[in-house]
Amino acid sequence: MTLHFTPVWFIAVPLLLAFLAPLWVRWRLLMPVLFSAQVALFVLALSWLPTVRIAPILETIVIAPPLGIHLHLDAIALLLVALFSFAGAIVSAFIWLDNGAAHLRERPAFILMLLLIAGSNGMVLTGDIFNLYVFIEIVGVSAYALAAIRRDKTALEAGLKYVIVGSVAAIFILFAIVLLYLQTGQLNIAALAQAFGNMPAQMQLLIGLLMLIGLSIKAELFPFNFWVPDIYRGSDPEITALYSGVLVKAFLFVLFHLTFILLADPTVARNWLMALGAITMIVAELVALRQNDLRRMLAYSSLGQVGLITLALAFASEATTAGALFHMVNHTLIKVLLFLLAALMLRQYASLKLTDVHGLSRTMPLAAGLFVLGALAVLGLPPFSGFISKLWILKGFADVQTFWPVALILTAALIEAGYYFRWIRVFYAPTDALPMAKIEGEKTLNYAPLLVIAGLLIVLGVAPFLLEDWLQQAAQALLGREALLNAVLGVQP
């Protein structure tokens, strides 16, 4: 083996490429590099799949855990890393092919996007809690900057709000980490997990609450997600696709990773998290009913899906977890698709208000068709993959005869249908107006990345067994506290 593949690559490659940005600018290679880097990472992740299937990979940096920093690549981390790089690849391909939004094809955006991906990968991979905080900050800072990158009023306002809220969340998290360190003197997550049970109950509660609130803000759980619609509305849709597709997923993972690993008995937190998820889902879907702006609607819908994923993950049974992970994958694909569609529509229409996009299908038939596909998938209608993941979750609940989440999920889906189909109907509404002239440079090639996603949604819907083993192993990895502790700490003398 001439090249030494290690999980560090997932973090190091984007960082390195970001720092070499001046070079790419000179060679006019910014977009190709952005795209191919993500594709390379995605391929790398896939090539690792057989290895990780057998056993997780531990990459120690300098000293072995618990003292040193290590990266932990197991099935779930690999799944998320692959997902992030895939989403990144799609978004960057879209930006590359698209000829609107010039500011997204310049150096700052390039650097920030790579940082965002690097940070997200780091959050998923790291086995050290302070390291985790660092990555959270990297991701946070790049996200704040990306929100404001368009340099107009709404974007700046969005960026500013994001900074305020994000920093407070970071403070909560930092506070929790500090307390943890003071109590145990450890920073390695596995080591912390062993010591956590010995702490006084009050302290456990305090740390848990701090962590929960900090991560809930980041992971967009009710009642800490009031900031989301404003930010999603203010930023560019391409960036929003990354927020909804990558960032939130990374934070959700961190939340549940910490929950499952720190608590010896995750059922303590189960009711709390399930309630959070359920409320998030219902509230978001309800509020979305009255949204008249496409991007705000998508933001609320995203919140609703996050709630659903939380509800399913918190239940902590293997079937619901696997289903929730699948739903995570699907939701990333769908929301990337929908937000990129919103970006395309924004080129054509000045605003995406309900009243302004009447009869959109006559001007942009393909976009409307893809929107329908995305909506059907997010609603969990067959034969798209969203159906399979929802079914998996529901089946997981039915397995143990817990029916209230089933009822809630189905009700939420019905409400969700209420607004998605309203938009579809508006897109296909008959109008007397002639179809608008196509804007300059709109070409079918713009749709290529979106068509890839659409194809994937159908393939995964018809043949979900392709991902089945991976997802189940990922679920086991997420839930397998003992296995992880042994894997990490077993190596110490």
**Rule CB under 8 A: which residues touch another protein?**
161, 164-165, 168, 172, 201-202, 205-206, 209-210, 213, 217, 223-224, 226-227, 229-230, 283, 286-290, 319, 322, 365, 369, 372, 376, 379, 381-383, 387-388, 391-392, 394-395, 397-399, 401, 403, 406-407, 410, 413-415, 417-418, 421-422, 424-425, 428, 430, 464-465, 468, 472
C-beta closer to another protein: residue 351 or 486:
351
Shortest Å, Cβ 284 to another protein: 9
C-beta closer to another protein: residue 255 or 484:
255
Q: Spell out the residues 6+ positions from residue 401 whose beta carbon is closer than 8 angstroms to its own.
A: none
Q: Return the closest-CA partner of residue 70 out of 19, 133, 22, 7.
A: 7
Beta strands in 368-465 (DSSP E): none
C-beta closer to another protein: residue 25 or 407:
407
Give 200-253 as a DSSP string: -HHHHHHHHHHHHHHHHHHHT-TTS-TTHHHHHHHS-HHHHHHIIIIIHHHHHH
C-beta closer to another protein: residue 265 or 465:
465
Per-residue tokens: 151: 């340099």
Number of H helices, E strands in the chain: 22, 2
C-beta closer to another protein: residue 101 or 309:
309
Shortest Å, Cβ 253 to another protein: 21
Shortest Å, Cβ 123 to another protein: 21
CA–CA separation, 416 and 285 (whole Å): 6
CA–CA separation, 282 and 277 (whole Å): 9
C-beta closer to another protein: residue 188 or 320:
320
Q: Are 101 and 236 in contact (CB under 8 A)?
A: yes
Q: Are 125 and 139 in contact (CB under 8 A)?
A: no
CA–CA separation, 4 and 219 (whole Å): 34
C-beta closer to another protein: residue 98 or 416:
416
Shortest Å, Cβ 17 to another protein: 34
CA–CA separation, 322 and 473 (whole Å): 8
Shortest Å, Cβ 423 to another protein: 11
CA–CA separation, 217 and 251 (whole Å): 9
Shortest Å, Cβ 472 to another protein: 8
69 three-class SS: strand
Shortest Å, Cβ 355 to another protein: 12
CA–CA separation, 340 and 243 (whole Å): 12
C-beta closer to another protein: residue 119 or 166:
166
Shortest Å, Cβ 248 to another protein: 17
